[in-house]
Structure 1
Amino acid sequence: MTAAGTTHRVELAITGMTCASCANRVERKLNKLDGVTASVNYATEKASVEFPAGTAVADLVSAVEAAGYGASPERPAEEPPAGLGDRLAVAALLGAPVIALGMVPAWQFPGWQWVSLALATTVVWVCGWPFHRAAAVNARHGASTMDTLVSMGVAVSYLWSLYALVFGDAGELGMRHGFSFVPRPATTGDVYLEVAVGVTVFLLLGRWLEARSKRRAGAALRAMLELGAKDVAVLRDGVEARVPVAALAVGDRFVVRPGERIATDGVVVEGASAVDRSVVTGESVPEEVGPGDRVVGGTVNAGGRLVVAAERVGADTQLARMARLVEQAQSGKAAVQRLADRVSAVFVPVVLGIAVVTLVGWLLAGRPLEFAVTAAVAVLVIACPCALGLATPTALLVGTGRGAQLGILVKGPEVLESTRRVDTVVLDKTGTVTTGRLELVAVLPVPGVPRERLLALAGAAERGSEHPIAAAVVRSAEAEVPALPAVSGFANRAGLGVTAVVDGHEVTVGRPDDLRSDPLVDQERHKGRTVVAVAVDGEPIGLLSVTDSVKPTSAEAVRRLRELGLRPVLLTGDHRVVAEAVAAEVGVTEVVAGVLPAEKVAVVRRLQAEGRVVAMVGDGVNDAPALAAADLGLAMGTGADVAIEAGDLTLVRGDLRVAADAIRLSRRTLRTVRGNLFWAFAYNVMGLPLAALGLLNPMLAGAAMAFSSVFVVTNSLRLRGFRPVSG
């Protein structure tokens, strides 16, 4: 049973939308339902809906259908709308003679206008039927969209021409007229069939190109979803049996041969090989793996035979989570998109008003009805808000898809705004700037305490901790001590160390500052090492010295972050002497050391109180609160799940240079969004007055409107060429 108050989430594929106004209508209808929060994306043709337990998915579908559109909780078709290409081909074939005859008087043979009427009838009412049908559906629901403008413009041009042919002088054999780039002072001896046909052809072409471009824009996500293996060789009782990947369970052992994709996330239990992880991290250099190493589903075994124990299956795998993050990012809306939505929601009614004013204004000015109608038609045709509706979602679709290919996952579109404002980047030391794999380099027992006993007690106590220092101590202890003693009463003191009862004694492993320590501590710290003290029943028995090497790419990453205008700060719970040695190696001058995990949030808050806009880069469980508190959280994908959940951006690869790439990509995506919106607004701001003043032929208006949508999508596709500097 579902508890009361539980919120569910579903993605609905929406069919029948033809412009941003349609998306706004669907969104408003869904949001009118009690407890429902919906966001409709015109580019992806999906609605992301959160709804309470008392609401059924069928209720959501019914609300969409009541608005005149279709909906289903399935993935939308990836191909252009059925028959669109055929309609375009027929319209172009039949429409070309109509346009040519209408524009070139020398080709106008006796009776040409009646041939044009026959051809135009098919183009306007058969090929252009989707526009008229959608306009009629919207009218029944008391709404107006882009299709309303297109249908009215085309229908008026066609019907006027029909009137002139049947009741005017245009039907006389031998009639000729020329073509003008501006509406001509027409009479009933003129026809506008080339306008009706031209607008239909250009808009069908624009919609077809738009559909193809949107498909290309979503190619990265589709490729990610298709990466997984379809079946797998599972080992059962020592015998291989091929089963569908869906049948894998946690703990199953499966075989991966050279060239095969790894079926799911797991740990290598047998064999050694090189694994190509480029599909997940964007890194082209294969990674060597052997027993004990973790591997990710969807990556490719480039070398020897591996036997892997499954750790995560289905929706829990890293690849599935990556795809989910990308889809969520693409279904959201940035602040700039919400502005465009508000504009497009009122745009069509305003344009209809402008068209009426244009018609009446020219009639009052004494111009012929034909001229006034033509100017009004040009207003209707050029003012389609499609470009506004596509400006943000297509850029976001391409940008987040490209990021996924490079191992950069954007959690939501609002993140783009944050990257523009950030001026300070706080870098967690362990696992972010350094490798995070500490090694025990010195065991320093007090006189009279055997080295093996010191290691055994410390290793036993640290086995319950997930801290990198604990892992280093345990690895060395297990390698040198035959069997570690049993432990009871384990307690983890965040940022301070651990205590445990070992062989009936209370063993403490933690900061030397909190225990009586040896003068060797300062000496070890000046070597850039981290020192922990070990005490039994409150009496120190020795020191352990561990070291963590700086990643070879960290210094370059810091330099690139500075080039982006960011001020780096090194944050660590380590001693200041150790922290400053690392900071000097990578080129950071501002260091905050000796910070407990709970205090990391306070450091972020302090920097924000100083007026800085803070980005935080971290990978550990103790970094999660600070990642959430920062204006922009960048989680290393090699770290803890809780850190990844808290971050705004996830860097799948453990390379700090990717942080610079992520910020560059986010900023470039935001610039593309703003550029798209500028040109979409500018197009209408310039085009509408020209049309209203009678300076624009409706056929050219149709071509310009179709071009504006294609331009916006094509401009967004340029993001596919983004090149990282980290690879």
Structure 2
Amino acid sequence: MTCVMCSRAVTSAVSKMPGVYSTHVNLVSETADVLYNPNVVTTDDIGDRINTIGYEYMGIHDNNSINNDVLEKKHAESQKKKIYRIIIGFFFSALLMYLMFGNVDLGHDSSYIMLAISILPFIYVSYPIIKSGLTSLKHLNLNMDVMYTLGIGVSFVASVLSTFHLLGSSHFMLYDTSIMLGSFLMLGKYLEDRAKGKTSDSIKKLVELKSIDATVEKMIDGKLVQVTVPINEVLKGNIVIVKPGEKIPLDGKLVEGQSYVDESLVTGESVPVFKDVGSTVIGGSINKDGSFKFKVTNTNEKTVLSQIINMVQDAQNSSPPIQKLADKVIKYFIPVILIIALISFVVWYVVLGSPFLYSLSIFISVVVVACPCSLGLAIPTALTVGVGLAAKYGILIKDGETLEVSDKINHVLLDKTGTVTVGQPVLSNVINYSDMKDDEILKIARSIEQLSQHPISSALFNNENKKDYDLYSVEEFENVSGKGVKGKINGITYFIGNEKLMDENNIVLSEDVVSDLESEELDLKTSILLANDAALAIISVEDAVKENSMKAISELHNMGIKTSMISGDNRNTTEKIAQKVGITDVVSEVLPQGKLDYVKKLQSEGKIVSFIGDGINDAPSLTKSDVGIAIGTGTDVAIESGDVILINGDLLNAVAGIQISKKTMSRVKLNLFWAFAYNVILIPIAAGILIPWGIFFRPEYSAFAMALSSVTVITLSLLLKGYVPEILKDG
């Protein structure tokens, strides 16, 4: 496909087929998403319909890497044929130019000799363009191949007529121009296809993460054996074996073994993550050093990786509102260019009395130089690269409209729990009154608390596996309801709990201990006492602020974006957390409906609002806000919950997502500027406005400029791939 008119033609043709409900064609990836009834129409029927309107149906494009390899080979073969045509075309056009302008005496039959030399190369080089143009014309689709066919065909036919003296003098012929035109147009198609392929690298890399087989445990003849089977045959609940260095084929939960797993290509998390029994693994991750077995929890399109791929593809196939402007221009572009070309021919031939073929070459230059392709590619290429870039950092953007709106965000609302804070209590600090080291205090406390089911017990272990810690053996463990726990280690009885437990066991707390307890409470920490005959230490846990929250919020302020914290928690707690991270506007003690009402209030004041939350309790606010950013972690990603999904739950990525959106929209505007500027400047030049100053823009120059315009726009989009969001540059 060469331009937006091509994608429209395919959309129109397929959409009119019985049983087809919707069709969306992506010009950049040259794919079509078709929703159809398989009982009424088949994929072969759809393919045949595409072929009849002049395009080539290459097969089903899905997230299966094997199937996509076949399509890649077909595309590579097509590119190779273009190269052959380019080489042949430039060789013979150079030969003809030498014969025409090199003072080579071919005698009176020179024009016939040049016709004989050019006819086969012309057919070979121009055949795909002319075939596509005539087929499009047959189906009343006025696209760029029609324009190219008109330019190439007119130049060659006019030269033939001139050779046989049907247009007067034969000394001004365009045989070299005809072949060079085809060569430059083929070069443009080759470079454009090559560049367009690179814009979708992010999707290709994600698809390559998918495994084609897996090693599973199966019972055969009463024996448990390991068998390698195709990935589509693996069922939910199967036990899969993964060895060091292997790719994890599907989502699951470890049932045996442990290892470090590299999830960077899926979640953007750069540091390998430790996994042991009970841990979840994501398909597409790379096992680093250990071997393990896991039970499959998601297969095929339900895996996190498949959902990520689908979401990225959907976003790349979508169109932002700004695309409507380009589409309006393109709709009238080709008819207007034809009118300008005809007017130019009439002015030069009729009004100014120039030779027919000279005037005709100006007509051809105008037809060929005009390029709606660059306009059509300006937005989708930048969108494709931008969405792919975001996915590289574990940021999933749902569609093009989200990108465009994100560029305008001026107010961000942040939920407190799980967004700014960790969302669950972790160990904060130890106030030690004994002669023991803090590590020993914690070892004693953890040894007793390992037997408890209270949330504080998990917090002492930082919500990690208790079996990973070196602990003492505990005797006479007892859970004292509402007060704490106690147990005996090496013959010494220890008490862990609140002041009531201490009072009950006649343990007197000094003024310092009481004062420290009050101080910890004011800092919004939950504290427990460790004692034997006397208080040994205060151990505090808290829902800690996430490591990067302060940096993320500071960067939002640097970008001129106002922030507010909104929470259902009490005002004192919310304000303390807000103060820590630098937020001054606080809304507390509100239910989900109250959060939604606050979003509406800000929008009524003309604000472009982004809401950042966990995607579950905050669903109404995420949906109502202009850009909902949902915090997710690994396999818990709620794909439907927001306009932007942060896979690894890092608030820095929320800011990075906004920065990528701004950069992408900036590149869209730059692309549109160059696409418009190219046509505005070169069309008058091709029409001969500079001829009085001795500058004649030959048709082959027009073809080269046309090819360059599309490639320039795509290259500008590709440069986005090297962009690193400002907030991530230091880290």
Give the TM-score of the pair, scaled to structure 1: 0.79
State how far apart, in whole Å, the 2-side matches of 1:346 and 1:475 are. Answer: 66
2:524 alignment partner, one of 505, 528, 540 = 528
1:436 alignment partner, one of 423, 426, 434 = 423
Structure 1 residue 227: Cα displacement? 0.7
Q: Report what 1:200 is aligned to.
A: 182
Q: Report what 1:299 is aligned to.
A: 285
* Contact 1:273–1:305 (Cα < 8 Å) also in 2: yes
Structure 1 residue 359: Cα displacement? 2.1
Q: Report what 1:39 is aligned to.
A: 24
Structure 1 residue 268: Cα displacement? 2.1
Q: Report what 2:507 is aligned to.
A: none
Q: Report what 1:167 is aligned to.
A: 165
Structure 1 residue 92: Cα displacement? 2.5
* Contact 2:267–2:634 (Cα < 8 Å) also in 1: no
SS of 2:274 mapped into structure 1: strand
Q: Report what 2:724 is aligned to.
A: 723
SS of 1:234 mapped into structure 2: strand
Structure 1 residue 649: Cα displacement? 1.3
Which deviates more from structure 2 when the two are superposed, residues 294-303 or residues 78-87?
78-87
Structure 1 residue 100: Cα displacement? 4.5
Amino acid at match of 2:202: A
Structure 1 residue 701: Cα displacement? 0.8
Once the two structures are superposed, residues 575-617 of structure 1 have per-residue CA deviations (whole angstroms, 9 ceiling, x without a partner) of 2211222212222122222222332212211221222111111
* Contact 1:638–1:654 (Cα < 8 Å) also in 2: yes
State how far apart, in whole Å, the 2-side matches of 1:312 and 1:100 are. Answer: 66
Structure 1 residue 52: Cα displacement? 7.2
Once the two structures are superposed, residues 598-649 of structure 1 have per-residue CA deviations (whole angstroms, 9 ceiling, x without a partner) of 3221221122122211111122410222111110111123189684312111
Amino acid at match of 1:528: L
State how far apart, in whole Å, the 2-side matches of 1:552 and 1:472 are. Answer: 15
State how far apart, in whole Å, the 2-side matches of 1:168 and 1:61 are. Answer: 44
* Contact 1:621–1:642 (Cα < 8 Å) also in 2: no
Compared CA separation, residues 529 and 640, structure 1 to 2 (3 A): farther
Q: Report what 1:22 is aligned to.
A: 6
Which segments of 5 or more consecutive residues in structure 1 lack a partner in the other structure? 1-16, 171-186, 443-454, 463-467, 485-519, 532-543
State how far apart, in whole Å, the 2-side matches of 1:547 and 1:441 are. Answer: 6
State how far apart, in whole Å, the 2-side matches of 1:107 and 1:337 are. Answer: 53
Amino acid at match of 1:19: C
Compared CA separation, residues 328 and 530, structure 1 to 2 (3 A): farther
* Contact 1:424–1:566 (Cα < 8 Å) also in 2: yes
Q: Report what 2:196 is aligned to.
A: 214
Structure 1 residue 714: Cα displacement? 1.1
2:651 alignment partner, one of 653, 656, 670 = 656
State how far apart, in whole Å, the 2-side matches of 1:557 and 1:349 are. Answer: 51
Structure 1 residue 396: Cα displacement? 1.6
Amino acid at match of 2:558: E
Q: Report what 2:503 is aligned to.
A: none
Once the two structures are superposed, residues 303-357 of structure 1 have per-residue CA deviations (whole angstroms, 9 ceiling, x without a partner) of 2222222211111111110000011111111122232223223322222222222
* Contact 2:152–2:182 (Cα < 8 Å) also in 1: yes
2:391 alignment partner, one of 397, 404, 409 = 404
Which segments of 5 or more consecutive residues in structure 2 lack a partner in the other structure? 62-67, 430-448, 480-515, 528-538, 692-696
SS of 2:322 mapped into structure 1: helix
Task: Show the 5 A alignment for 1:545-694.
Answer: 547-638=542-633, 643-693=638-688
Amino acid at match of 2:123: W
Amino acid at match of 2:12: R
* Contact 2:83–2:190 (Cα < 8 Å) also in 1: yes
State how far apart, in whole Å, the 1-side matches of 2:239 and 2:654 are. Answer: 35
Compared CA separation, residues 290 and 207, structure 1 to 2 (3 A): same
1:152 alignment partner, one of 150, 153, 167 = 150
Which deviates more from structure 2 when the two are superposed, residues 140-149 or residues 239-248?
239-248
Once the two structures are superposed, residues 189-242 of structure 1 have per-residue CA deviations (whole angstroms, 9 ceiling, x without a partner) of 211222212211111101001111111111220111111223222234654333
State how far apart, in whole Å, the 2-side matches of 1:592 and 1:667 are. Answer: 28
Does 2:365 align with 1:369? no
Q: Percent identity?
A: 34
Structure 1 residue 133: Cα displacement? 0.7
2:410 alignment partner, one of 420, 423, 442 = 423
State how far apart, in whole Å, the 1-side matches of 2:647 and 2:404 are. Answer: 21
Compared CA separation, residues 22 and 620, structure 1 to 2 (3 A): closer
Task: Show the 5 A alignment for 1:329-368.
Answer: 329-367=315-353, 368=355
Compared CA separation, residues 169 and 322, structure 1 to 2 (3 A): closer
Structure 1 residue 74: Cα displacement? 0.8
2:370 alignment partner, one of 373, 378, 383 = 383
Compared CA separation, residues 100 and 218, structure 1 to 2 (3 A): farther
Compared CA separation, residues 483 and 213, structure 1 to 2 (3 A): farther
State how far apart, in whole Å, the 2-side matches of 1:108 and 1:399 are. Answer: 57
SS of 2:164 mapped into structure 1: helix
Amino acid at match of 2:32: A
State how far apart, in whole Å, the 1-side matches of 2:136 and 2:577 are. Answer: 64
State how far apart, in whole Å, the 2-side matches of 1:91 and 1:113 are. Answer: 19
State how far apart, in whole Å, the 2-side matches of 1:359 and 1:684 are. Answer: 18
Q: Report what 1:714 is aligned to.
A: 715
State how far apart, in whole Å, the 2-side matches of 1:361 and 1:21 are. Answer: 29
State how far apart, in whole Å, the 2-side matches of 1:524 and 1:609 are. Answer: 41
State how far apart, in whole Å, the 2-side matches of 1:227 and 1:474 are. Answer: 29
State how far apart, in whole Å, the 2-side matches of 1:322 and 1:483 are. Answer: 48
Compared CA separation, residues 309 and 148, structure 1 to 2 (3 A): same
Compared CA separation, residues 599 and 524, structure 1 to 2 (3 A): farther
Structure 1 residue 416: Cα displacement? 1.5
Structure 1 residue 68: Cα displacement? 4.1
SS of 1:308 mapped into structure 2: strand
Compared CA separation, residues 601 and 474, structure 1 to 2 (3 A): farther
State how far apart, in whole Å, the 2-side matches of 1:475 and 1:285 are. Answer: 19
State how far apart, in whole Å, the 1-side matches of 2:463 and 2:269 are. Answer: 31
SS of 1:358 mapped into structure 2: helix
Compared CA separation, residues 286 and 561, structure 1 to 2 (3 A): same
Q: Report what 2:275 is aligned to.
A: 289
1:93 alignment partner, one of 91, 99, 116 = 91
Q: Report what 1:182 is aligned to.
A: none
State how far apart, in whole Å, the 2-side matches of 1:620 and 1:691 are. Answer: 56
SS of 2:33 mapped into structure 1: strand
SS of 1:291 mapped into structure 2: coil
Structure 1 residue 370: Cα displacement? 2.3
Compared CA separation, residues 304 and 211, structure 1 to 2 (3 A): same
Task: Show the 5 A alignment for 1:3-14.
Answer: none
Amino acid at match of 1:333: S
* Contact 1:235–1:254 (Cα < 8 Å) also in 2: yes
Which deviates more from structure 2 when the two are superposed, residues 337-346 or residues 229-238?
229-238
State how far apart, in whole Å, the 2-side matches of 1:344 and 1:649 are. Answer: 31
Root-mean-square deviation (CA), in Å?
Answer: 3.6
